[in-house]
Amino acid sequence: MERTLPWSWYVDPEVLRREGERIFAHAWQYAGHTGQLAEDGSYFAAAAGQIPVVVTRAREGDIRAFLNVCRHRGHVVATGAGRRETLQCPYHAWTYGLDGALRAAPRADREPGFDFAELGLQEIAVDSWGPFLFVNPDADAPPLPETLGDVPERVAAIIDLDTLEFRFRTEYEVEASWKIVCENFLECYHCSVAHPGFSAEVDISPDAYRLESDGLTSSQRGPLREHGSSFLVDGEIPHSQFHFVWPNFGINIFPGQANLSCGPILPLSPERTARSLDYFFGPDVEQPWIDELIAFDTQVGNEDTELVTGVQQGVRSGLLAGGRLLTESEQLVAHFQRLCAEALAG
Ligand code: FES
Ligand SMILES: [Fe+2]
């Protein structure tokens, strides 16, 4: 057994502030998918931790990403997604091109020395893996593949990302620290207790369910149970894969037909987290199968929401300093907690 992180870290605003500075300001994070920028002159707003970002494709331009923060007095510039020539800040109407350049600022002509050139949106790093777009607020970040490790290879072994089509996004919020949500994703020790439906289909016994961590990634792989009969056996994917990319990106692939959902785990406040998942399917996957998967996945998601809110209630009580982790079944949680501790100490 080993010790958990101090439970005060799951409620303390100062810890979240330092995580913003030391983790989210320097990490590659999923922002969205290439389908959101399929057309020239499009953009979408996203978040890297609590840092607002905007990803754009200007006319005849490449995909670029910027801090979504007005260089005037700091209002968030873009919201949502769409096609536009420019992004206009809603506060005083400073207007930026999709290339980040400041194009117009009311009354700038009355301001001696107003230098448009130095007031563009601050550019950040952007890169892609298949249809997935990642941003890193740190312009000097190491290349994205170093963060992804062998996750792309593991995914490619069971699914062809190039054929996947985006179908929809789900979004919800939970009353728990982002770290509690990540940790819940990183073990299946709770599965037999809390996910009877999932555990009836996927073999979650410690000998069959594989856990591996390497660098900034963690992977879980669970085979279907023998003699399974549900919709999950109807397809070419033989086992589930759940990947996690530090600090906050989860990927789910269920057995059955070509399916993948992925998205970030975003801190909103020390004890509140936003979760969004983009669902992709193979072009031939039919709606009835998708409906079954959604029902199955929603059930698991609801069960997890109960668990993480319950953990938050316990750790916020403040009377116990921390807990214990199982070294085998919770090794990915331990790996995640080590990365947190290292980042905050560094
Ligand atoms: S804060 Fe954006 S225009 Fe003033
Ligand atoms: Fe779970």
For the CA of 75, the closest atom of ligand 1 is: 1
Q: Ligand 1: does its nearest atom lie under 6 Å from the Cβ of 172?
A: no
Long-range contacts of 41-46 (CB under 8 A, 24+ apart): 41/83, 41/84, 41/85, 41/98, 42/81, 42/82, 42/83, 42/84, 43/78, 43/81, 43/82, 43/83, 43/84, 43/87, 43/98, 44/80, 44/81, 44/82, 45/76, 45/78, 45/79, 45/80, 45/81, 46/135
pLDDT per residue as tens, the chain (346 positions) = 899 999 999 999 999 999 999 999 999 999 999 999 999 999 999 999 999 999 999 988 899 999 999 999 999 999 999 999 999 999 999 999 999 999 999 999 999 999 999 999 999 999 999 999 999 999 899 999 999 999 999 999 999 999 999 999 999 999 999 999 999 999 999 999 999 999 999 999 999 999 999 999 999 999 999 877 789 988 999 999 999 999 999 999 999 999 999 999 999 999 999 999 999 999 999 999 999 999 999 999 999 999 999 999 999 999 999 999 999 999 999 999 999 999 999 7
**Which of 88, 92, 116 has the most ligand 1 atoms within 8 A of CB, as the residue to mutate?**
92
Distance (Å) of CA 6 to CA 130, 313, 323, 338, 346: 37, 15, 8, 12, 17
Distance (Å) of CA 221 to CA 131, 184, 253, 279: 22, 16, 9, 19
How much distance in Å is there from the Cα of 83 to the middle of ligand 2?
37
How much distance in Å is there from the Cα of 76 to the middle of ligand 1?
8
3-state secondary structure of 222: strand
How much distance in Å is there from the Cα of 151 to the middle of ligand 2?
21
Sequential DSSP letters for 123-186: EEEEEEETTEEEEES-TTPPPHHHHHTTHHHHHHTT--GGG-EEEEEEEEEESS-HHHHHHHHT
Residue nearest to atom 4 of ligand 1 (CA): 92
Q: Ligand 1: does its nearest atom lie under 6 Å from the Cβ of 94?
A: yes
Indicate the DSSP class of residue 8. G
How much distance in Å is there from the Cα of 71 to the middle of ligand 1?
7
Q: Ligand 1: does its nearest atom lie under 6 Å from the Cβ of 106?
A: no
Residue nearest to atom 1 of ligand 1 (CA): 73
Nearest-angstrom CA–CA distance, 258 and 279 = 11
Nearest-angstrom CA–CA distance, 295 and 275 = 18
How much distance in Å is there from the Cα of 119 to the middle of ligand 1?
12
Q: Ligand 1: does its nearest atom lie under 6 Å from the Cβ of 104?
A: no
